[in-house]
Structure 1
Amino acid sequence: MNLGPLEIGLIILAILLLFGYKKLPDASRSLGRSLRIFKGEMKGMKDDDVRAKDAAQTGPVRGEIVAPASPPQDDLNARLQAEAASAEAHAAELRARADQARAADGPR
């Protein structure tokens, strides 16, 4: 997918028409802030993974608070399957209500 200068110009024109030239700097500033926050959160998650890996290899440090053990994987799978079944039942109920509403409205 190659964008030529004409396509890029049309995209810029459409953005200017949508947001206006006065709001565009504010929109780009907020986009930059959002990206900076996102990058910081991603870096924090990577740091947490590294710390967790190091802690697993070396064991807990004296005075460190150790997180409780996570529930067994089978328990988690059972809970997820139960939630999925509940969601499917709810969706089927909503579909039935929508069908009843359509039938009550009659053909158009």
Structure 2
Amino acid sequence: MRNLFEHPLFIVILLALVAILFGGKRLPEAARGLGRSMRIFKSEIKQMHDEDDDRAAQRPTPPVEGRVVDAPSSTGEPRDAQQHRDSRA
């Protein structure tokens, strides 16, 4: 599918249609309203990100519990082999 804004003629036609639909007086008002809406939207998004950052900073990290599940033997042998050898003696 071709890109709509590939040719400058399409952009000119689109701008002419917008000018005809909104008229000379309402076009600046519409642009001003769009600008206000964008500023409000950006400030709300920034506020949401700031609140998320604040929540993440306030949330304490849980302490890490350290436990040894299976300590390696100091001889380098697997633990089962060492126990098997000890039970023979």
TM-score (norm 2): 0.62
Q: Which of structures 1 and 2 has the bigger CA Rg?
A: 2
Structure 1 segments, 4+ long, off by >4 Å, are none
Q: Distance in 2 between matches of 1:2 and 1:54?
A: 45
- Mapped pair 1:21 → 2:59: no
Listed one character per residue, the Cα deviations across residues 13-56 of structure 1 (whole Å, up to 9, x for unaligned) are 10011100111000000000000000000000000000000000
Partner of 2:87: none
- Mapped pair 1:43 → 2:46: yes
The higher relative CO (CA closer than 8 Å, separation ≥ 6) is in: 2
- Mapped pair 1:33 → 2:36: yes
Structure 1 residues without counterparts, runs of 5 or longer = 59-108
C-alpha deviation, 1:57, in angstroms: 2.9
Contact 2:19 2:27 in 1 (8 A): yes
SS for the counterpart of 2:28 is: helix
SS for the counterpart of 2:60 is: helix
- Between structures 1 and 2, the one with greater helix share: 1
SS for the counterpart of 1:21 is: helix
Q: Distance in 1 between matches of 2:52 and 2:40?
A: 18
Listed one character per residue, the Cα deviations across residues 51-104 of structure 1 (whole Å, up to 9, x for unaligned) are 00000037xxxxxxxxxxxxxxxxxxxxxxxxxxxxxxxxxxxxxxxxxxxxxx
C-alpha deviation, 1:2, in angstroms: 5.1
SS for the counterpart of 2:59 is: helix
